[in-house]
Amino acid sequence: MSRWNSWAAAGRMGVLCVGLLLIAALSPAALAHSASTGAGWQKVQATGAVQGLDGRSHTATCSGYPGTDAKFNFWTRKGKSRNLVIYLEGGGACWDDLTCTFPYDSRLPTGVPQFYSAAMASSEKPAQLGGLFNLNRSDNPVKDWDMVYVPYCTGDLHSGTTTGTYINAGHPAYQHLPGQFDIRHQGFSNLMVVLDWVKRNVQAPARVLVAGSSAGGYGASINFPWVRTLFPAAQMRVLADASQGVTTPNWDQGTPGRGSWQVQLPPWAINMNPAAVSGPELLRLAAQAHPDVRVAQFSTNFDLEQVQFYGVMKEYYGPGSACPYPVLDWNRQMVSTMRSYAQTLPNYRHYLAAGTYHTILTGNDFYTERTFGVAFNDWLGAMVAADVDQPWRWRNVACLGCLIQLPCPTP
């Protein structure tokens, strides 16, 4: 969900970064296509207000962190089939003075914390990614699909609709940062603008895959019901990559915490106060409300990014569960949730790989990961296949022994 730097020397307070791991008719937004960015990709700049699928007015923007460009772009690509991928990008989170003071910046020296993507990277292009976006591989099951790539620059898991005011926590490299500044947590608004474009420009697809990695996986989990309203006749699939929802109640319910973002949830699927919904319940409730949608998760069994996020949440936004060891605690909760989903959700499957790496959809692991004899890209292919095409091929996959509940040693 974010990039971690070694900065323990910066003091215990720095660790607070972590939390995860979520009208009248308006004229359509003004949209301008740029030249192709390679492999048929087109960049779209959103510049006006739209009436979102929720009936409210939405304008796209990045965080507006002082000194950054708040413009929001997204990418589209026309494929050869009547199918559609909507992918939500990951990139950290920000919800309090400390985390919002320190966005990602590759120019910063080692030791300076970095917690979230505050703006669009000028070099960011889906054509440069691998995995799902490697369109030259014959074993990519979605290489011929239409694609919409939703960037992430608001620090709110694609779920926010508010502007937060924060106090500069003392950035050592940003002398321009004022003592108080605003962050536009408008990730949900950005998605509403993108989906307005989809509604106007994409012919009704036969199949739809809504997917996301890390922060984007949470965005896919809670927002796919909105996509469902656009294409109710399509066969829909949802994949949350490296976003298991292992959080603490105080972070879920707190401001600061998830409450910093004014999270928007689809009311017909998750009809309750967002603060009352635990991390794992977000996907469960959405999946239960849409039993005809295939829903899945991917994770490694000791994803260090997710473990580290949860460890800090457990310490500073605790209490977590009774096991005092963050690595074991995260693993035990992740395994318990996966097993529970598999037992109670007929439309759910998981792919649990051995290892510590974080996310699979945009890298080479997409093609090289093979767990219990099942290649990940083949498993995804079975998931996105038409309903009549051997549905038994899409099954739960886990590394040997990885779904066993590990004991928690007594301290």
Mean pLDDT of 359-383: 97
Return left, alpha or beta for 278; rule: phi > 0 is left, psi -120 to 50 is alpha, else beta: beta
Residue-wise pLDDT for 21-64, tens only, equals: 333 333 445 555 554 556 799 999 988 999 999 999 999 999 99
Q: Is the pLDDT of residue 15 over 50?
A: no
pLDDT at 37: 54
pLDDT digits (tens, 9 = 90+) for 130-167: 999 999 999 999 999 999 999 999 999 999 999 999 99
Mean pLDDT across the chain: 90
Mean pLDDT highest for which of 167-176, 188-197, 263-272?
Answer: 188-197
Q: Are 278 and 252 in contact (CB under 8 A)?
A: yes
Single-letter code of the amino acid located at 11: G
Assign 10 a pLDDT band (cuts: 50, 70, 90). very low
pLDDT value, residue 393: 84
- Per-residue pLDDT averaged across 165-194, rounded? 96
d(CA 70, CA 340): 41
Name the token pair of 64: 């507006």
Residues 244, 218: Cα–Cα separation, whole Å:
8
The amino acid occupying position 359 is T
The label of the residue with tokens 């011929």 reads 144
Can you give the pLDDT at residue 309? 79
Would the pLDDT of 410 be above 90?
Answer: no
Alpha helices, DSSP H, located in 231-364: 249-253, 279-289, 304-316, 326-344
Beta-ladder partners of 116: 92
Looking at the domain 8-398, which fold is it? Answer: Rossmann fold (3.40.50)
Which residue type does 241 have?
Answer: D
Beta strands at 57-58 and 73-77: parallel, antiparallel or unpaired: unpaired
Residue 2 scores a pLDDT above 60: no
In sequence order, what are the beta bridge partners of 188?
A: none
pLDDT per position as a tens digit, 254-290 = 999 999 999 999 999 998 899 999 999 999 999 999 9
Helix (H, G, I), strand (E, B) or coil at 365: helix
Q: Could you tell me the pTM of the whole model?
A: 0.91
Residue with tokens 């307070």: 13
Per-residue confidence (pLDDT) for residue 32, from 0 to 100: 53
pLDDT of 7 strictly over 60: no
Give the pLDDT confidence score for residue 110 in this predicted structure: 86
Distance CA 154, CA 59 (A): 13
What whole-number distance in Å separates Cα of residue 268 and Cα of residue 258?
21
pLDDT for position 266: 97
DSSP class of 224:
H
Question: What is the pLDDT at residue 38?
Answer: 66
Let me know: does 82 contact 71? Beta carbons within 8 Å: no
Name which of 108, 156, 90, 93 is nearest 358 in CA terms. Answer: 90
**Pairwise pLDDT comparison (210 vs 272), residue with the higher score:** 210
Share of the chain above pLDDT 90, in %: 78
**Number of Cβ within a 10 Å radius of residue 321:** 17
Q: What pLDDT score does 5 carry?
A: 36
* Nearest alpha-carbon partner for 112 in 1, 7, 11: 7
Under DSSP, the state recorded for 363 is S
Per-residue pLDDT at 111: 86
Between 247 and 309, name the one with better pLDDT. Answer: 247
The CA distance from 74 to 271, in Å, is: 30
Q: What is the pLDDT of residue 317?
A: 86
3-state DSSP call for residue 401? Answer: coil
Interhelix angle for 326-344 vs 304-316, to 10°?
A: 110
Mean pLDDT along residues 366-388: 94
Mean pLDDT of 361-369: 98
Residue 16 reports pLDDT greater than 80: no
pLDDT at 106: 87
Domain boundaries, the chain: 8-398
Contact in structure between 90 and 212 (CB atoms under 8 Å):
yes
Q: How many C-alpha atoms does 7 have within 13 Å on its Cβ side?
A: 21
Q: In 3-state terms, what secondary structure has residue 260? A: helix
**Which candidate, 389, 354, 380, 372, places its Cα nearest to that of 132?**
380
Kindly tell me if the per-residue pLDDT of 304 is higher than 80.
Answer: yes
Terminal-to-terminal C-alpha distance of the chain: 30
How many whole angstroms separate alpha carbon 124 and alpha carbon 38?
12
